[in-house]
Amino acid sequence: MRQRPDNPGNDPTENPTAGSTDHPAALPGLRILDFSRVLAGPFATMVLADLGAEVTKVERPGSGDDTRAWGPPWDADGRSTYFDAVNRNKRSVVLDLQQPAGIAQAIALAGEADVLVENFRPGLLDELGLGYEALRDANPGLIYCSITGFGSSAKGRELPGYDLLVQAVGGLMSITGEPAGQPQKVGVALIDVLAGLFASVGILAALNHRHATGQGQLIRVDLLSSLLAALVNQASSYTVGGVVPQRMGNEHPSIAPYAVFPTGVGELVLAVGNDRQFASLCRVLEAPQLADDARFCTNPARVSNRAALRAELESLLVTRSAAEWASLLLDARVPAGVVNDIASAFELAESLGLHPTVDLPVTGESSIRLARNPIWLSATPPTYRTAPPLLPFD
């Protein structure tokens, strides 16, 4: 029986279940051949695998994906937890692309695939007879997604596409960290994740085009362009306003107070986005006069006088703990929160009914717990079928 849209068949508060087949998949029968390694490509293919795609991961003999060796920590079966993070719902095959037999197997697999994803050095697969032009002749519907660090131009193809390098040369590190301190990287390989998301969107768009025309196409995503697009307001500050953003620590260039503040115990984040919220903040702090102060009564005024505002707020926040202030402020609808570690963040999500993890059985009695796919679909939710694969014997 069809469920009404306001009464979907799966409840977002239900704990995601490994191996569940209660609902149809969003991408049933979609065959993805995944030549990618490390993070951006594997993240993209895992997102699609969670939605029902059948992903065959191609790994090199001996060591497989680079991230299999990126530990500790390790899981109970000896895989690195880095590899685990982006390789569930896939099967793995070993192909030696330095040998004619391996190339022949790869060509055969590509002939049956709907999507191919790769992140080799630009031009390498062309040299091996596995480029888009060569494979398209035998499989006109093939969607071929190429992920690079800096594009495929003669100059860009020579640059190594590591996330840290892209964060540096792409400007992200220049706006991350304290003003007087070193440029800082983000605490996760964020550009790889963003590129993976852009790649998955591109693949879905190409699938829609193929549904209408029967024709595949070539998709190119590069890490540098992904970063520049993801700079959003910081990018437009430069491209539209001619302003080159600088490091501001935890301050925001256009909003105040929007930062981390010390309290009597612990640190508190305030993310006050409008004047109403600021007035509520002042009432909770028992300093309503600050909301009428000409230096602070509007957001532009607060931005211009952020140092004076910080001094006022710090003198008031020292009287309670961060947890106490967060509770009081949230009750007053002021965006505020404590600075959690990763464990506390997962505990928070669980307490909110978001069920942020899924347990996947592996060998014997063991299982691994991974962060779930955040996409919720009422009719075709993500599924969690298999643990990240062990490396097959060569």
Per-residue pLDDT at 5 exceeds 60: no
Res 13 pLDDT > 90: no
Q: What whole-number distance in Å separates Cα of residue 369 and Cα of residue 354? A: 15
| Across 184-198, average pLDDT | 96
**What's the CATH fold of domain 258-347?**
formyl-coa transferase, domain 3 (3.30.1540)
361 pLDDT band, cuts 50/70/90, is confident
Q: Which amino acid is at 359?
A: D
Both tokens of residue 89? 């719902």
Which DSSP helix (H) or strand (E) runs through 111? helix 100-112
pTM score, two decimals? 0.90
List the domain boundaries for the chain: 1-230+356-394, 258-347
Across 61-92, b (16+ Cβ under 10 Å) vs e yields: beebbebbeeeeeebeeebbbbbbbbbbbbeb
For residue 3, pLDDT over 90 is answered with no
* Per-residue confidence (pLDDT) for residue 366, from 0 to 100: 79
Query: Which of the residues are catalytic?
Result: 192
Residue 326 has pLDDT above 90, yes or no: yes
- According to CATH, the topology of domain 1-230+356-394 is Rossmann fold (3.40.50)
Contact 35, 126 (CB under 8 A): no
